[in-house]
Structure 1
Amino acid sequence: MRLWGLAHAVDDLYQGLVPAVVPYFVLDRGYGYVAAGGLTLAATLGSSVPQPAIGMAVDRMRLGRLPAAGLALAGIGLGLSGLAHSYAAVWALVLLSGLGVAMFHPSAGKAAREAAGDSTAAMSVFAAGGSVGFFLAPVLATPALAAWGVRSTLLFMPPALLMAYVLLRGRHRQRALAAARAAQVRNGADRWPPFLVLTAVEVVRSVVFFGVSTFVELYWLRDLHASHALAGTALACFLGGGVAGTLGGGRLADRIGMVRTVQLGTALAVPALAGLCLAPGRLVPLLFAVLTGAALNLPFAVLVKLGQDYLPTRPGTAAGVTLGLAVSAGGLVAPLLGLVADAHGPQGVLAVLCGVPVAGLALGAFLVEPGQEAGPSSPV
């Protein structure tokens, strides 16, 4: 699981690099905001839309080399984007990088589940890797981009190629264990109704996560009148809390159950967001930034494993939806949140987001533990 967690961190590093690199394309190449938004759209289209289809292919065919191939493509596409001259070439390379991310998630999610067996805590190691990669991306990229501009994207190609090589080398050793675990995991019939409810819960979580990660720095800058350094610290606190929440959620689910963990994390997000929005000063809200990140990510690994439990014969499809499509769906709401910010500022966005988890709580009441009869479960 450490290997898959590390591979997930490297893969999602390239997702996190896109928002870090786009401003430097604006500065170095003179791209307008529409062109910059087009690059973000290319990354989103490549990484989210194909994942369910790739997941179905993973469930039907033996595609053991797909995680390594996806990692390599993600690194090559992003790495070469800074060297391309025409906008069309840059757009295509960013799209290819996103496609590499999409190739990784369903196949790696299936393999990680087979390695984890029935342990949610073990699965949380894989899920937390993605949070770590997204967290590290701006930390690693900003100094290089500031010093050498967009051409420094080439420096970020080696981690993907190295990790792809490691996965290929270790693939044969894991086959026997994976086959044995897969036989245990793939028992029972697929249950689509609770899986669709779970997907809706993940979309709600994604909306809040994208909203906070997009506007939390602006909140510190424009509403709290803080420095750029403190605003960056706020984003780091939020993302760091997410890593802790992902790991903690897996361990908690092994103790109290997966559904209750999802319900608890969703419930805790409401007071955490309220504190982030209303806490006085510039330093106290940092605590609530950590708590918000932790609460939102408490159900993350649990949702991935629970989705695979609902679809035991389609673990790749389940991972493709929960790790890809549903997670990225929150980004589609960003333009609407931007309209709220134009009218009421970043604090207005955070105020609106305080009410969004309520929809997740309502949906979470209809989740059931695998093996139980369908019907509303007791909310936390």
Structure 2
Amino acid sequence: MNQNNPAGRNRIGLWVLTATHAGNDFYTGAVVALLPFFVLQANYSYSAIAGITLAATAFSSVAQPIFGYLSDKYGMRWMSLAGLATAGLGVALSGLVSHSYLAVWVVIAISGIGIAAYHPAATMEARQVGGGTSGAMSLFSVGGNIGVALAPSAVILVVGWYGLKGTWLLAIPAVVLGLVYIAVSRSQLLRRPTLVASDTVKVSAKQAEVVDDWRAFGWLSLVLALWSIAYVGTSTFVSLYAIERFQTSTQFAAIALSLFPAAGALGTLVGGWLADRFGRLRMVRMGYLLAALSIAAIAFAPSPVVVIVATAALGVSLFIPFAAQITLSHSYLPNRIGLASGVTLGLTLSLGGVFSPLLGRIADQYSVQLVFIIMAALTAVGFVLSFVLKERTSEPKRVIAIETTAVENEESHS
């Protein structure tokens, strides 16, 4: 095997993609972090901000499978960069047009579409340069957690200092990381690892033609949809819950909002590592069970400190299955990796976004506490349904997606 890359990975490429993933998902976290400011400074209702959450997620979720299909068919690596730039532009404009709810809704929807464009193409690149393992996918995925975790602090700093009119400064991460991606791409450091002939596992044509298991993928999508309700709902309402129930300050409530994705980063890394060693389905089931218990702890927390601790626990447990779910989707649809990535990372989130206005209405008419009780119950249902899922080990070895040129083949034999 190539001694310079014993794991069959392009580590530089994987780290660069992880950084751009952080930048892209920074804007997912920024939208959520802006919601309390839209309530406090622009006088939006809970239902109105739930509508903004719908704008951020619904269009993104529907668009991602489309972008995934295009990635499968045409490659279109440029969508990573275009998506990152569009995501940053939409969020940057949101505060500048906060006097118009419709304008905010539109630019947030545009940002969501940008986020959608990024994910399938970037996930395919990460899968190629990372060798297709859950561990490599967890590293790429954790970039998203880090970006979401950094967003609340950045939003508080910017909006706290300049007000909503300062959101244009939030475009900086997209600009900087976009330039880094361009520079590294031109230096060819993002190309997939090249193995010589002795490194290549020979598989027969029959082994390479693995049939897509749409039934298993459908069950996984349903489980992921329930996951998304817990994720989107917690991101939308946890800070508002702390403010409403315990009258905490916006800054204190933002601690929970920051800890949630930060803890999710830890859960993603640990879950990916454990999935490679003990099995993906074990991690999926354990994560959903612990997540249901953590949401229940938030709902019945006796103090704001317990809310923060339980939110951190939820971040870890909810993201333990994350990388395993992505690689499971790839194993169920090995011939449609882009589409699997688009549905897994996008379409399933649409249910979380679609449920947001309903959860917002429940919060307006009853309480935010009831929202968390409902999410705990739905996550428990996800735990039960996870037992329908099955492991699939028949994914072809061509997961590494090695493509060597004729010149490289000649050099490997010389």
CA-to-aligned-CA distance 1:248-307 (integer Å, 9 cap, x gap): 110110111111111111122233233333354443443322212211111112111211
Match of 1:154 among 168, 185, 195: 168
Matched, 1:248 2:248: no
The aligned runs of 1:101-112 (5 Å cut-off) are: 101-112=115-126
TM-score between both structures, scaled by the size of structure 2:
0.80
On the 8 A contact 2:51/2:356 being kept in 1, the answer is: no
Measure, in 1, the Cα distance between the counterparts of 2:96 and 2:306: 43
Measure, in 2, the Cα distance between the counterparts of 1:313 and 1:103: 20
On the 8 A contact 2:239/2:256 being kept in 1, the answer is: yes
| Residue of structure 1 equivalent to 2:309 | 287
Q: Counterpart of 1:174 in 2: which secondary structure?
A: coil
On the 8 A contact 1:75/1:157 being kept in 2, the answer is: yes
- How has the CA–CA distance of structure 1 residues 31 and 289 changed in structure 2, closer, same or farther, with 3 Å as cutoff? closer
| Residue of structure 2 equivalent to 1:193 | 215
| Residue of structure 2 equivalent to 1:174 | 190
- How has the CA–CA distance of structure 1 residues 179 and 73 changed in structure 2, closer, same or farther, with 3 Å as cutoff? farther
Q: Which has the larger radius of gyration?
A: 2
Q: How far 1:17 sits from its partner (Å)?
A: 1.9
| Residue of structure 2 equivalent to 1:317 | 339
Q: Which moved more, 1:51-60 or 1:29-38?
A: 29-38
Q: How far 1:332 sits from its partner (Å)?
A: 1.5
Match of 1:56 among 33, 55, 69: 69
Q: Counterpart of 1:173 in 2: which secondary structure?
A: coil
Matched, 1:16 2:32: no
Measure, in 1, the Cα distance between the counterparts of 2:43 and 2:361: 25
Q: Which moved more, 1:213-222 or 1:95-104?
A: 213-222
Q: Counterpart of 2:191 in 1: which secondary structure?
A: helix
| Residue of structure 2 equivalent to 1:303 | 325
- How has the CA–CA distance of structure 1 residues 218 and 166 changed in structure 2, closer, same or farther, with 3 Å as cutoff? closer
- How has the CA–CA distance of structure 1 residues 65 and 198 changed in structure 2, closer, same or farther, with 3 Å as cutoff? same
Q: How far 1:111 sits from its partner (Å)?
A: 0.8
- How has the CA–CA distance of structure 1 residues 330 and 221 changed in structure 2, closer, same or farther, with 3 Å as cutoff? same
Match of 1:115 among 129, 145, 160: 129
| Greater relative CO, 1 or 2 (CA 8 Å, sep 6+) | 2
- Amino-acid identity (%): 38
Q: Which moved more, 1:159-168 or 1:85-94?
A: 85-94
Q: How far 1:197 sits from its partner (Å)?
A: 0.8
Letter in 2 for 1:174: L
Measure, in 2, the Cα distance between the counterparts of 1:231 and 1:38: 21
Q: How far 1:177 sits from its partner (Å)?
A: 2.1
Q: How far 1:225 sits from its partner (Å)?
A: 4.7
Q: How far 1:362 sits from its partner (Å)?
A: 2.4
The aligned runs of 1:31-110 (5 Å cut-off) are: 39-83=52-96, 87=100, 90-110=104-124
Query: RMSD across aligned C-alpha pairs, in angstroms?
Result: 3.1
Letter in 1 for 2:108: V
On the 8 A contact 2:54/2:356 being kept in 1, the answer is: no
On the 8 A contact 2:88/2:174 being kept in 1, the answer is: yes
On the 8 A contact 2:153/2:258 being kept in 1, the answer is: no
Q: Which moved more, 1:217-226 or 1:158-167?
A: 217-226
On the 8 A contact 1:186/1:312 being kept in 2, the answer is: no
TM-score between both structures, scaled by the size of structure 1:
0.86
Measure, in 2, the Cα distance between the counterparts of 1:318 and 1:30: 40
- How has the CA–CA distance of structure 1 residues 47 and 78 changed in structure 2, closer, same or farther, with 3 Å as cutoff? same
On the 8 A contact 1:113/1:305 being kept in 2, the answer is: no
Q: Counterpart of 1:312 in 2: which secondary structure?
A: coil
- How has the CA–CA distance of structure 1 residues 24 and 270 changed in structure 2, closer, same or farther, with 3 Å as cutoff? closer
